[in-house]
Amino acid sequence: MSIKLNYNNMMSSVLGSQGITDGEIESLKPALLKAHATVEQSRGKGMQGWMDSPYNQEELIERINGVAKNVRSKCDAFVVLGIGGSALGATALFGALKHLYYNELPREKRNAPRFYVIDNADPERMNALLDIIDVDNAVFNVITKSGATGETMSQYLIVMDLLTKKLGDRANERIIATTSSNKGNLIKLAQKQNFTTFYIDDGVGGRFSVLSPVGLLPAAVIGIDVAELLRGARDMDERCKNNDIAVNPALAIAALQHISMNKGKNIGVMMPYADSLKYFADWYAQLWAESLGKEHDNDGKTVNAGQTPVKALGVTDQHSQVQLYNEGPYDKVITFLEVENFKNDYTIPDGCEDYADVNFLCGHTLGELMNNELFATRYNLTRRGRMNYTVSMDKVNEYNIGALIYLLQMQTAYAGALLNINAYDQPGVEGGKNATYALFGRKGYEDKAREMAHAPKDSKKYIV
């Protein structure tokens, strides 16, 4: 496995007083051993069903590949209808493993449908999609475990209405449902309408679902080798079964972030130096924020835990955010994602011989430029005492992406155990959902509606 963690630039031997000492890591070892044991003891149980995903899906992968082959043969567009964990993982896989202008390629180069993810309730987004696809030449993958996600089910109602008007009784051929097998609205609809259906295990929450049918089916439709994704995840899991941070990179990162949070580093920046990994920062932002941002710990104590994730992209954000990271508050840890070898490279041709501050680039490659800029950014941050570490891979492929996904999920599980919080619930999200239901007059939310009716009114004094 090519994935490596380099955390020299987190340590006091490099950063001085801003860094972490070997003694601090040594002092944390009992807690690390306990956190590791806690995660292992819950493997496959409760909401840690996602830990079985690399191992128990062999027959399912065969079915996924069969359905994907059929979809590729009968449509020009494949559309995911989902939000949050039902959309971010598929988006990250698509961005990482397919051509960066995939939808603009001719069909003979894609060998698969165009791919779209509609992950918001913005009406302009839905209208824009319907301007560029023919619904009767598309397949829609509706993804919601509960079947009650307002945004997703609104999209479903719009699409199903259009399909029924065009295809009549054959509309169901254009819908694939990914949902719970035993509860919620979507499974009832799927059974009634005879949709092709895939199931999300009860122990797999949305933000941990990318290696389930939630992410694997869309990936397979667009030609990603999903078996290789799971092989990479399995091999990373083998590393994570070890409770030594010298072997287990996920446990090491959790330790570093835990110590950093206790030092006031309440912002975590993920900065990939590859356009292909841009949307991994989006997926990770949900994973880290929703898992760790908790008001109470497992003992009921108010802790207001968590670290705010920030998305950045190298080299682009060297020209914007990096100024703040270098000279602003000492409240951040930067995670660099490094790709050692790009799938394609481009040699910069000769030219501008009279301009030395341009000509020096000639004969070098864009890959060299990317990686030298990463080295320079990392060097400058370190020189200024700014915490950073690097997760690198030799190349972006299915195997390494599967391993990276599992690394970040395990890191999150360990961090939750270290913080003594429930990394798998999201009561803060549910509060907003319930308020929305009340505004729409949904049955059962009358008390919430009455509560909201008594909310303080906006004062004109503070409206400009």
- Residues with a catalytic annotation lie at 290, 319, 433
Whether 89 and 283 have beta carbons less than 8 Å apart is answered as yes
- Pairing verdict, β 267-272 and 196-199: unpaired
DSSP class of residue 18 equals: G
Whether 218 and 141 have beta carbons less than 8 Å apart is answered as yes
Q: Which ranges in 78-172 belong to alpha helices (H)? A: 88-97, 107-110, 123-132, 150-167
Tell me the CA distances in angstroms from 39 to 12, 53, 415, 420, one per residue in order.
29, 15, 10, 12
DSSP class of residue 348 equals: P
Which residue do the tokens 């799938």 mark? 343
Beta strand spans in 11-92 (E): 77-81
Question: The tokens of 203 are what?
Answer: 């122990």
Which residue do the tokens 């493997």 mark? 43
The angle subtended at Cα 34 by Cα 21 and Cα 231, nearest 5°, is 95
Rounded Cα gap, residues 157 and 462, in angstroms: 39
Residue 22: strand, helix, or coil: helix
For residue 383, give every residue at least 6 positions away whose Cβ sits within 8 Å of its Cβ, in sequence order, or none: none
